[in-house]
Amino acid sequence: MITRATLSTIEQGLPKYRSMLAGNAAYIPSGWFSIATTTASGGESSITMSSIPSQYSVLIVRINAQVEAGFQNNNGISIRFNGDTGGNYARQHLTASSSSTSANGTSGASSMPVPGDVFPSNTRANYFGVAQIIIPDYADTTKTKSLVFHAGMNVNIDTMRYARKGGGLWTGTAAISSITFLPQYTFAAGSTFSLYGAI
Amino acid sequence: MPQTYEPIATVNPSGTTLVTFSSIPATYTDLRIVANVIGASAGNDVFMYFNGDTTGTYDQEFMTQNGGSPYPGNYQNTQYYWSAPFSYTSTTRPIVLIADIYDYAGSKFKSILTTTGEGEWPQFAMAIWKSTAAINTIVVRCGVNFAADSNVTLYGIKAA
Residue A51 has pLDDT above 80, yes or no: yes
What is the value of pTM for the model shown? 0.91
Please judge whether A161 and B6 are an interchain contact, meaning their C-beta atoms are less than 8 angstroms apart.
no
Give the pLDDT band (50/70/90) at residue A8: very low
Q: Which residues of chain B have pLDDT under 50?
A: none
**pLDDT the model gives residue A4:** 45
Chain A / chain B CB contacts < 8 angstroms: 133
What ipTM did this prediction achieve? Answer: 0.94
pLDDT above 90 covers a percentage of chain B that reads 81
Please judge whether A14 and B74 are an interchain contact, meaning their C-beta atoms are less than 8 angstroms apart.
no
**pLDDT the model gives residue B105:** 98
Does residue A148 belong to the interface with chain B, where contact is any CB pair within 8 Å? no
Please judge whether B6 and A31 are an interchain contact, meaning their C-beta atoms are less than 8 angstroms apart.
yes
**pLDDT the model gives residue A26:** 62
**pLDDT the model gives residue A22:** 61
Query: pLDDT by residue (tens digit) across B79-92?
Result: 999 988 777 788 88
pLDDT above 90 covers a percentage of chain A that reads 78
DSSP helix/strand/coil, A94: strand
Q: Average of pLDDT values for A163-176?
A: 98
Query: Does an H or E element contain B20, and which?
Result: strand B18-21
- A156 contacts in chain B (CB < 8 Å): 59, 74, 76-77, 128
Name the minimum distance, in Å, from the CA of B71 to any CA of chain A.
7
Kindly write down the DSSP assignment for every residue of B65-99, as one continuous string: -SSSS-EEEEEEEESSEE-STT----SSSPEEEEE
Between CA A66 and CA A40 the distance in angstroms is 10
DSSP helix/strand/coil, A198: strand
Q: Average of pLDDT values for A12-37?
A: 67
Give the pLDDT band (50/70/90) at residue A21: low
Residue A114 has pLDDT above 60, yes or no: yes
